[in-house]
Amino acid sequence: MLYRFIRGLNEIYGVTVLFCFIGAFFIAFAFTLIYPIVPLLMLISSIFLVVIARGAFIVMRHAERTVARRGIARGACPACDAPLDAVLVGERRVHECPGCRRIFGEDGMPYVPQEVPEDAGKTATFERSMVVG
């Protein structure tokens, strides 16, 4: 449950910060002729706010990975607490949840399969080897 909450925050965080900065732009634009010191102060503070926004994103992403790694370490899906299946994909070991169909890498990040350009014309065949233990 905690994983889904943090994951949801991470998914909307970038758009939320973007709209906050766009709103700040319109506020600064409105005060340009009325009271010119406001846009100058907002311009100076925006440099620091970008650094703070980026730092907050890094902290939230780290929290998401930490919660996911804890769930993977106990053998349960971080999102739904179903038992995970360890699967070898190439040389990487990934953990797949049969309940919610999410796939996690060893580092706790969601696993996204990569397409190889050489395989573009071939038919799709999937071979998996189950890892025991």
| Cβ neighbourhood burial of 84 (10 Å; 0-12, 13-18, 19+) | buried
Q: What is the pLDDT of residues 95-106, one digit of tens each?
A: 888 888 888 888
pLDDT at 102: 86
Angstrom distance (rounded) from CA 19 to CA 9: 15
pLDDT in tens, 29-77: 999 888 889 899 998 998 899 999 999 999 999 999 999 999 888 888 8
- In this prediction, residue 127 has a pLDDT band, given cuts at 50, 70 and 90, of low
120 three-class SS: coil
pLDDT at position 65: 92
| DSSP H or E stretch at residue 12 | helix 2-34
The neighbouring-strand residues paired with 88 are 93, 129
Instruction: Show the tokens assigned to 35.
Output: 């009271």
Reduced to 3 states, what is the DSSP secondary structure of residue 131? Answer: coil
